[in-house]
Amino acid sequence: MNDKARLDALKNLIAAELQRTPARPKFRLLTRDDFEGPIVPPLDPESRAWLIARIHDLRRMYGLGWLIRQQTQRVGSLACLEDVQLKALHQEVERARECLADGISLEEAGFI
């Protein structure tokens, strides 16, 4: 086999290999429709600190430490909760406070 034939064979081999490689991915810009649910901006530090302080106040004033421990058992503390989880816990503790203020037991309200 002469040099020209070997170069042609090598060229054909490289061309066949290049055709087998996967195409490069096509990139696109993400839009709001690509996400599930609304896009919620993160809490600013002051709002986050206020929520944590309010939850601590309600725990102390109404004896709701058990409810907070129950909701934070997987993460360890209030500071480790995601923003959405922190807001949900605040709403739940406020609802428990309202029940206690209205004379509704926490068992009746479904907390226990």
Predicted model pTM: 0.64
pLDDT, tens digit, 9 for 90 and up, residues 70-90? 888 888 888 889 999 999 999
In the structure, what pLDDT confidence band is assigned to residue 35 with cuts at 50, 70 and 90?
confident
What DSSP designation does 90 have? H
Task: Count up the domains in the chain and report the number.
Answer: 2
Whether the per-residue pLDDT at 27 is higher than 90: the answer is: no
Q: Is residue 60 part of a domain?
A: yes
Question: H helices within 1-112, ranges in order?
Answer: 3-20, 45-62, 65-72, 83-101
One domain for residues 10 and 49: no
What residues make up the domain containing 7? 3-34
What amino acid occupies position 21?
T
